[in-house]
Amino acid sequence: MLAYCYYAVVIGRSPGIYTNWSTYIDQVWGYSGAISQGFPTKSAAVTFLITGKRVLTNGTLQMSINSSHLNELTPRVNVYADGACGRYGSSDFIAGGIGVYYGKADPRNVSKTLIEVDCNDDCKSHRAELLAIKCALDNEAKLLKDGTSEGPINIHSDSLQSLLSMTFLREYWKVNGWRKLSGGRIKDMDLIVPMSRQLDSINQIYNDKWWGPVQFTKVPSHSNVSGNIYADCLAKQGADEMFSILYTD
């Protein structure tokens, strides 16, 4: 009989890698929709943790960071983040923007050009998606500092890779010296590392308040989720403004 020493929890109370059977069972027993598996080696468990999410990309994926205090009764503030980047028409002109949407006519809503939020001239869609999530985290950090935060946030995005960079992949990269499983460099590490620190800081404050940690939710791309549609519009508005600034008189 094959002995399992490592247990990967993709969906459960606290996703991650566990080596203690009792602790592992606590994460999945009675948890609706739990996804987990045991492995004889750590590398196999990590691989499953990273790749096992692929079966969920067509639906809504809930992802949370570990927390010592978790009160799921605390109402969540839903925040939708989206990035836009691409060529305009048949031209070679590239422009991008980010959008963060809280609600209709909400003063916290954000529409910005990429040149306002990024000193890197690498205008790529994935980076724009990350920058939108970064903006949502920055906003929450400011609201917490001002004492005006309305509760723990749930960041919605249609970019699975960006969400994984803040959840499963982030947890592994941190313990692996911010390197991939293969040892290679992480793309957009200049964003991901400070975003990770910001997330840790927010979650610590949340813990002190007995709130659950920041949640991340995958929403289907090009779906009819209204919040995602509005965030997309705000991002495209930022891209249009960037195009106007750079390429028109």
Same domain, yes or no: 135 and 241:
yes
Query: Can you give the pLDDT at residue 66?
Result: 37
| CATH for 10 | 3.40.970.10
- Give 146's pLDDT tier (boundaries 50, 70, 90): very high
d(CA 19, CA 187): 29
Q: Is this structure's pTM higher than 0.75?
A: no
Residues in the chain, overall count? 249
pLDDT for position 132: 98
d(CA 71, CA 194): 26
* C-alpha 61 chain-centroid distance: 11
| Relative orientation angle of helices 125-146 and 189-208, to the nearest 10 degrees | 30
Q: What percent of the chain has pLDDT over 70?
A: 84
Q: Is residue 62 part of a domain?
A: no
Q: Do 149 and 45 share a domain, yes or no?
A: no
**Do 123 and 175 lie in a common domain?**
yes
User: What span, in angstroms and rounded, lies between the C-alpha atoms of 129 and 248?
Assistant: 25
CB 235 within 8 A of CB 82: yes
Same domain membership, residue 123 and residue 223: yes
123 and 241 assigned to the same domain: yes
Residue 86 included in any domain = yes
Look-up: residue for tokens 């031209």? 91
Is residue 85 assigned to a domain?
A: yes
Which two three-digit tokens encode residue 79? Answer: 């925040």
Domain with 127 in it: 77-248
Q: What is the DSSP code (8-state) at residue 93?
A: -
Residue 218: DSSP 8-state: E
Is the residue at 158 inside a domain? yes
Give pLDDT, residue 73: 53
Q: Collect contacts of 107-110 with beta carbons under 8 A, ≥24 apart.
A: 108/139, 108/143, 109/234, 110/135, 110/139, 110/234
34 and 92 co-located in one domain: no
Query: What does the block give as tokens for 203?
Result: 């979650």
- Residue with the bigger pLDDT between 33 and 28: it is 28
* DSSP class of 12: S
Instruction: List the one residue out of 197, 203, 196 whose CA is nearest residue 66.
Output: 203
CATH code (residue 98): 3.30.420.10
Average pLDDT, the chain: 82
Segments in the chain forming alpha helices (H): 21-28, 42-51, 114-117, 125-146, 160-165, 168-175, 189-208, 226-247
Instruction: Give the 3-state secondary structure percentages of the chain, helix then strand then coil, rounded to 5.
Output: 40, 20, 40
| Of 89-93, 112-116, 147-151, 217-221, minimum mean pLDDT range | 89-93
Residue 232 above 50 pLDDT?
A: yes
Task: Give 64-104 pLDDT, tens digit per residue.
Answer: 433 333 445 568 899 999 999 887 766 678 889 999 999 99
**What pLDDT, on a 0 to 100 scale, did the predictor assign at position 54?**
38
Give bridge partners of residue 216 from the DSSP assignment.
63, 155
Q: What per-residue confidence (pLDDT) applies to 55? A: 34
Our count of domains for the chain comes to 2
CA distances from 155 to 78, 166, 188, 222 (A): 6, 11, 20, 17
Q: Are residues 106 and 33 in the same domain?
A: no
